[in-house]
Amino acid sequence: MTARWLLTLSIFLGASTAARPNAQACTSVLVTRGASVDGSSLITYAADSHELYGDLVMRPATRNVPGTLLDVFEWDSGKFLGQIKQAEATYSVVGNMNEKQVAIAETTFGGREELVDPTARIDYGSLMWLGLQRAASAREAIRVMTDLVAEYGYASEGESFSISDAREAWILEMIGKGPGKKGALWVARRIPDGMISAHANQARIRQFPLREPDTSLYAKDVISFAKEKGYYKGRDEDFSFADAYAPLTFEAVRLCEARVWSVFRRAAPSQKLSSDYVKGVEGAKPLPLYIKPDQKLSAHDVMELMRDHFEGTEFDLGKDVGAGPYHLPYRWRPLTFKVGADEYVNERAISTQQTGFSLVAQSRQALPDPIGGVLWFGVDDTYSTVYVPMYVGIRAAPHAYATGVATLRRYSAESAFWLFNAIANFVYSRYDEMIRDVRTAQRELEGEFLGRQSEVEAAAQKLYGTSPELARDYLTQYSASMADKTVARWRRLGEELLVKYMDGNLKDELGAVKHPGYSDDWTKRIVAERGEFLKIRKLKGEPAPDDTLNIAGYFHSAAELGDLAAVVPKDFPFAREKLVLMPSEDRCHRPPRCCLAAELDAAKGKLIVSPPKEDGDSCGAPAWLVRLPLGEQRKISRKGQMP
């Protein structure tokens, strides 16, 4: 054999992952052109794993000698699966999107364990990248992927794939045929224009049209195989892929379908979708495959759909005792636990602590491919990440996001993944306070990126008219500069959080140290459990405490107030009066209110301030500015105790 026949290329994917467990592991949302505000097709992907390092993997376009073979390694484990024929030409790929604006994401539904084929040569991860490297449209990607498994077998559990281009969005669901049986069982549904869909580790396609190739494609034996195995008995028209190949369990509806329900209830609140199905209520109607959103969605809206802890619902992770005193909406694994003979679940939300990377892939028909395709890419938790624009025309990944900078077991201060993880893990310690600062910085950056998008793309189009390569150079530089800006801002955010929240304290906008304590709901739980043991009792002869306020200084003008001047009436009579700040333990960091007047307690020779009582305020009592005559120097006491 000649050297060219011995030449092999590798599709080794382990550089960006280690062994990735699949159960309840990922979430994907699909938005069709007619459901988006600007005619974009959008799909999302949260790649969730406790063993996944988040980086932006670049796969350059190639030209290959006929007969070249490709080594295939399993994405999850790095195990060598075998060799397949390499295509004579491949497209370049940025993360999960190729140069033709085709994007692919996945979630693993598992399904019937006996249908996994360990002898096959292509796993689901390799199948995604092969589809991206070889397909110029979503439909072509479906054909490429299904042809490949027909020839080389399918080595993974059941999988749901989101596949989109600038025109269409599809869900492809696939499962193997069992050990040594080449091929796969699959069905693909096109999401109707104007609709959105989602999947989250449970098969979603049930009945499908048998004679509508424009909307539905499927393996010729997908129904007959189920009948032969005894998975289904009935008319072909009534066949349900999900019910046959991924029978429901309580965990499947509660930990997986619940995430789809949360996407739908937020995008279309008018439909008032019941939660009975995802709670496992017998006879409840399954969720539809797709819905029409109440309003068309922007790229930012879709980013926010990926930031979800079931807020405002009975599944809200920030509400029960597992959230701790700072309402942390995450639960450490495992997802289920036993107490005695009974087993229980921790809710599994879209936003989760173990996300390696996530993305929103935006494809647009009206723009040249290198400009129209944008991979909004973030690392670590979706709720606290920043989605940075990575255009499909870029030539290299920005350094902090590039493969090789670090790994899951090798830290580097230059790695965006490790930086975002460091901030997030610090925030977990006082979540409901610190996440506000994170979200402010996040909105600051994403707002700039989205606000500049049309300007940047107009400049890129102008360059594209002269030379497409100049446009690619420009976009490469732009994505790199926005990535650098994100990393710099996040480093500064870490420093700000440390200064502001060190040692359980809180520094207000003036730098004064406050002691916010625990939330009212948490202190009530403490009292309910150990109140009698912890209760303060007065000793016989114990002197009354000194309730005098510590006054640091007075404000004699609006200029001295600085930012606080915004809460003081413009006509405040500084010619006759001055102000003093009476601090509080306001957990929501609201600005102080104005203005309380002090009353004289002649018996004690002190001034008394009596803030109005505010029942039901979960933030605690606010700070107040107190007005005093200019010459007043007597001590001031606060009536009542601080919260």
Question: What confidence tens digit (pLDDT) does each residue in 263-305 have?
Answer: 999 999 999 999 999 999 999 999 999 999 999 999 999 999 9
Residue 615: predicted pLDDT: 65
Residue 25: predicted pLDDT: 78
pLDDT higher than threshold 70 for residue 220: yes
Instruction: Categorize the per-residue pLDDT at 20 as very low, low, confident or very high, splitting at 50, 70 and 90.
Output: very low
Amino acid at 226: A
Q: Which residues pair with 582 in a beta bridge?
A: 624
Q: How far apart are CA 450 and CA 462, in angstroms?
A: 19
Q: Taking residues 317-346, report their average pLDDT.
A: 95
Residues above pLDDT 90, as percent of the chain: 82
Spacing of C-alpha 536 from chain mean position: 44
pLDDT higher than threshold 90 for residue 418: yes
Residue 268: predicted pLDDT: 98
- Taking the CA of residue 30 as centre, how many other CA atoms within 13 Å lie in the half-sphere pointing to its CB? 35
Query: Which residue would you say has higher pLDDT here, 76 or 122?
Result: 122
Q: Which of 201-205, 271-275, 421-425, 601-605 has the lowest mean pLDDT?
A: 601-605
8 A C-beta contact, residue 258 and residue 202: no
Instruction: Categorize the per-residue pLDDT at 620 as very low, low, confident or very high, splitting at 50, 70 and 90.
Output: confident
pLDDT higher than threshold 50 for residue 17: no
Q: Taking residues 56-75, report their average pLDDT.
A: 96
How many CB atoms are closer than 10 A to CB 160? 26
Q: Taking residues 9-18, report their average pLDDT.
A: 40
Q: Taking residues 544-556, report their average pLDDT.
A: 78
Residue 22: predicted pLDDT: 45
Residues above pLDDT 70, as percent of the chain: 95
Instruction: Categorize the per-residue pLDDT at 617 as very low, low, confident or very high, splitting at 50, 70 and 90.
Output: low
CA distances, 31 to each of 129, 308, 365 (Å): 21, 17, 14
Residue 546: predicted pLDDT: 66
DSSP-assigned states of every residue in 379-448: ES-TTT---EEEETT-SS--GGGBTTS-BTTB--TT-HHHHHHHHHHHHGGGHHHHHHHHHHHHHHHHHH
Q: Which residues pair with 624 in a beta bridge?
A: 582, 593
pLDDT higher than threshold 60 for residue 148: yes
Q: Taking residues 309-336, report their average pLDDT.
A: 95
